[in-house]
Chain A
């Protein structure tokens, strides 16, 4: 190829690439409107789980319940006398696992009930329901999947806290939790006597499980923790505070869990498997070596 032809080719290539990039960029920007993105872990003061992980290294049920009982109590709404008179009730009506295999959805149906007399007291348009789903060791929520705007446009915020390493097996990972924030304003204003319902569909993925003789490992997922947070007028400025269901209604029933059976490796396979793996690798190696040295066009001869 002559130098002139080479230079001309380079010039044409550059033009083509620039044209391609420009036209594509124009399309991407103008034809497909950008969709709202789910923020992950963006606002320091917003997420309750972020506060939890500032005080604790990892997620344990006992530490979390202690955190909810004691550390959050200072955030309960004080302005309204006797928080419980507001009559906020958050309960899980249904909890189920949808789908098959290693990628499923946790379906939660949550009911919010507020005593009718209390509704006018609430700044409905400034309230949100917070749902915290603690996940056991064997499963995780993929933060990237939660960024899918098509699925999660109903939520104000979603974030994953704890161990978000997607690659580690369960016996080398820690627990995580997902926190949802759902705008409750519209629902409160038009609430019926039996309350209003929110449906959550959380995509979950199974980690590789510890080895098990049966070939399966069972992971149990419990009910989420729920609160409502409203912005209220304080003495000097607006501040947010929390409403929780009364303590006697917060105790969860043991039957309100879902079980997920996940395939696990079997120790019984270990012995013969390693031998066969290495023998196969060796046979392949010898075959390629033989073919290269004796069956190819190469010749080893003196010139």
Chain B
């Protein structure tokens, strides 16, 4: 049993991250291999351009919202490390928000602590922020949206959701589960929704589950689509998104729209990455892909997302997790930074999993890391040894997809599915009489 207090954990994590940033600066200055992510240089250059009144899109490969460049303007006059500290602070907020969410759902203290540690001391996540990658900001906002929703604060959730979709397109995949989640039986005007508490008893969880399982989530949506909460969420998030997009379009024109939005919607990359589609794209790069080919590559993603939403939307946090894993796994381009998108939600679902670390959990971890390492080995031979191993690398990406699919299925099987909210007693009484 871990006896560390949350404050101590956060303090140690903060000191550790400050140390990493400083070591990273030293490494950048004195060693050939840089610690800092090349993307951080892109953000910083864009921020300098913005600070001097120019468009951040004059910087080639800057494909983010101008908001990010704005946040990094102090890089130019305070310190070039400003952005790294900002991202690392967001990283710490993610750890804090994990604890807040779990405590609100009455998860025991030791499980909360373990969940915090899984995020804060995961080597993958603490290097992301300290190297200058902006994903921790996205993760922190997504978790904050979850906090707002479970506290019934729809307006604030909608505001942040509109903002984060503008900032980073991928959270758009959460819109349908959020709409389903805003069930009028739980979200009633003037009343805070009632949270379902954590329980370690799978039998009790299933009992809670069966009280509220409906005929079909789709039927729910169509029956009571236009509720106050849903309309409010849609209007506010849509307005925030359009305002931000419209404002920056006014400032930077089509260049902003293309680089920050359209590029991500249509992105294909022929260069090797974890996606199973990379070699197919490379072999067909010289010709335009047919409509059928584009549709066939989009369908798996679409079907998986739809089914996961319909099955798990009521358990919103778990739905976010499985959707994100599937979204990344079936995407046409997969880079390592995308893994952070589901890593931040993973600690939130583990208290509801009846999978033991020994040995099933450990096997899943080793399988995922093994499949990744296998891919990286072939990638190393291609990129750093100049061997033609495209075929082997593509097969490694197939194996990686298989590993992701298997682990996702195992997590689904071992998850104690339970809606985040329970019904208000008066409504339940009315239904039973």
Contacts and interface: CB of A to CB of B under 8 A. Distances in A.
A125 to B, nearest CB: 29
A53 interface: no
Contact of A297 (B271, B329, B417): B417
A101 B271 contact: no
B405 interface: yes
B172 interface: no
Interface stretch (B159-167, B247-255, B302-310, B355-363): B302-310
Contacts of B92: 17
A267 interface: yes
A1 B269 contact: no
B350 interface: no
A44 interface: no
A63 interface: no
A24 B18 contact: yes
A288 B384 contact: no
Interface in B201-234: 205-206, 209-216
Size band of the A side of the interface? Answer: 35 or more
Does more than half of chain B's interface fall in helix, strand or loop, or is it mixed? helix
B53 interface: no
Contact of A281 (B82, B276, B390): B276
Contacts of B415: 296-297
Contacts of B307: 288-289, 292-293
B110 interface: no
B85 A21 contact: yes
B391 A284 contact: no
A117 interface: no
Contacts of B330: 281, 284-285
Given A274-B280, A297-B205, A25 B81 contact: yes
27 contacts: A20-B14, A20-B85, A21-B89, A25-B78, A29-B79, A100-B385, A144-B41, A150-B31, A164-B60, A165-B60, A167-B269, A261-B386, A263-B387, A263-B388, A270-B284, A273-B279, A274-B283, A276-B398, A280-B401, A280-B402, A281-B297, A281-B300, A282-B300, A284-B329, A292-B311, A295-B412, A303-B431
Interface of B: 10-11, 14, 18, 21-22, 25-26, 29-32, 34, 38, 41, 60-61, 78-82, 85-86, 88-89, 92-93, 96, 100, 103-104, 205-206, 209-216, 269-271, 276-277, 279-280, 282-286, 293, 296-297, 299-300, 303-304, 307-308, 311-312, 322, 326, 329-330, 382-391, 394, 398, 401-402, 405, 408-409, 412-413, 415-418, 431
